[in-house]
Amino acid sequence: MSGYTQEEQDATLAALAVINNRLLDADSVINGYLATRYTLPLSTVPRMVMLIACNLVRHALYDDQAPELIQERYRIAIRQLEALAKGQVNIGVDVSGNKPTVNDAAQMSATTPVFKRNEGGFI
């Protein structure tokens, strides 16, 4: 940040501190809901949980000035957390917080490469 004035650097650091606090707040809210059903911390954070966190943080950053779209996304995020806590939505991890292992997935194999640069075809 050497190209910025001290005032700009201070403002940036203050803004980052606020963002970090809102991230910690969202983490606490999410953990409060997930802890009723899952062992925390989760081994992998599912994308759905990341999106919920983004919507919680965005709403918190607006403080009491959030536009209707941000407020609606916040309400949806809370409903999603409630559904997760009740087991109505699957986030792809088991109750121990681990991604389940599945060995019965479809597999494709071929003796020669399936995709070749010079042929451009499929199988």
- The CA-atom distances, in angstroms, between 5 and each of 10, 11, 69, 101, 108 are 9, 10, 35, 52, 58
Predicted local distance difference test score (pLDDT) of residue 52: 98
42 closest CA partner among 102, 92, 77: 92
Regarding pTM above 0.95, the answer is no
Predicted local distance difference test score (pLDDT) of residue 29: 98
Instruction: Enter the tokens of residue 4.
Output: 């910025």
Query: How confident is the model over 110-120, as a mean pLDDT?
Result: 58
Q: Are 38 and 95 in contact (CB under 8 A)?
A: yes
